[in-house]
């Protein structure tokens, strides 16, 4: 008997891979987080040989275990940009430094079937790293991030990703924590401040996307 769900996701991921490649992204397919980590550690890391690495917040990235493995590499300096025991001013300075690393890891809020990356940030360090600065960028992307177009991507982010992100930060006081959808608020804790739509990777291959055949992240 045909596994309809498996064939469905295989077809969608292959189409997204082709669309991304047409937009000058370098793309890899992984069945699960373990295979995604394997691609990074045995393929990309030796090839790129980064001396400095950092990241932008991503639930998908953490799910792969990539950061933990890289932090065990003695020849790589990892700029840690998230830590509860470090003063806020120091964290912000580290996030500025992270924009000049050799290799920057993060995820994406949404990926269109035309091969566009759509993201929304509170501070801008994540979209900044994707757009310019780091020599190479690796995005870990679960299949649940795939949407038909930019409009669908923005709707998903406003009414699913952003509210969930606000809810998981217990100290944030935004209306969407109660309504579960965007209220276009003016809260000081508003996390929806900077949009980015990445149509193509420039230079070609600078942004590498690992598509993971699993629902991951927000």
Three-state SS at 83 = coil
Question: What domain range includes position 31?
Answer: 4-212
Does residue 206 belong to any structural domain of this protein? yes
Q: Which two tokens stand for residue 162?
A: 């952003």
CA distance 180 to 175: 8
Q: Which residue, 101, 128, 98, is CA-closest to 195?
A: 128
Q: Is the peptide bond before 77 cis (omega within 30 degrees of 0)?
A: no
72 occurs within a structural domain = yes
Enter the tokens of residue 93.
């300075």
DSSP three-state, residue 44: helix
**215 and 12 Cβ atoms separated by less than 8 Å:** no
Whether 162 maps to a domain, the answer reads: yes
The CATH number of the domain holding residue 29 is 3.40.50.10420
Q: What pLDDT score was predicted for residue 123? A: 94
Whether 217 is in a domain gets the answer no
What is the rounded CA–CA span in Å between residue 58 and residue 167? 15
Place of tokens 């596994």: 3
Provide the pLDDT for residue 170: 84
Q: How do strand 52-55 and strand 77-78 relate by DSSP bridges?
A: parallel
Cα gap 181→160, rounded to integer Å:
7
> Is residue 155 one of the residues assigned to a domain?
yes
Both structure tokens of 118 = 């759509």
Among 34, 100, 96, smallest CA distance to 69 is for 34
The structural domain count of the chain equals 1
Do the beta carbons of residue 36 and residue 30 sit within 8 Å? yes
The answer to whether position 136 is within a domain reads yes
**pLDDT tens-place values along the chain, 218 residues long:** 788 999 999 999 999 999 999 999 999 999 999 999 999 999 999 999 999 999 999 999 999 999 999 999 999 999 999 888 899 999 999 999 999 999 999 999 999 999 999 999 999 999 999 999 999 999 999 999 999 999 999 999 999 999 999 999 888 999 999 999 899 999 999 999 999 999 999 999 999 999 999 999 99
Coil, helix or strand for 144?
Answer: helix
Q: What is the pLDDT of residue 83?
A: 85
In a domain? residue 218: no
Residue 199 lies in a domain: yes
């Amino acid at each position: 008997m045909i596994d309809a769900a498996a064939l469905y996701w295989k077809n969608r991921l292959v189409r997204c891979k082709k669309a991304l490649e047409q937009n000058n992204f370098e793309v890899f397919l992984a069945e699960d987080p373990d295979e995604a980590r394997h691609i990074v550690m045995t393929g990309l890391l030796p090839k790129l040989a980064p001396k400095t690495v950092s990241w932008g917040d991503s639930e998908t990235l953490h799910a792969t275990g990539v950061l933990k493995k890289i932090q065990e590499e003695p020849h790589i300096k990892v700029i840690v940009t998230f830590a509860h025991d470090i003063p806020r001013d120091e964290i912000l300075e580290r996030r500025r430094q992270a924009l000049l690393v050799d290799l920057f890891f993060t995820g994406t809020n949404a990926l269109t079937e035309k091969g566009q990356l759509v993201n929304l940030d509170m501070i801008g360090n994540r979209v900044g790293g994707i757009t310019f600065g780091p020599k190479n960028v690796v995005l870990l992307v679960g299949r649940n991030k795939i949407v038909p177009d930019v409009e669908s991507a923005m709707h998903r982010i406003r009414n699913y990703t952003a509210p969930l992100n606000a809810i998981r930060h217990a100290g944030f006081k935004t209306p969407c924590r109660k309504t579960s959808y965007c209220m276009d608020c003016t809260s000081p804790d508003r996390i929806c401040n900077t949009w980015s739509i990445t149509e193509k990777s420039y230079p070609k291959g600078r942004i590498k996307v690992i598509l993971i055949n699993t629902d991951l992240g927000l």
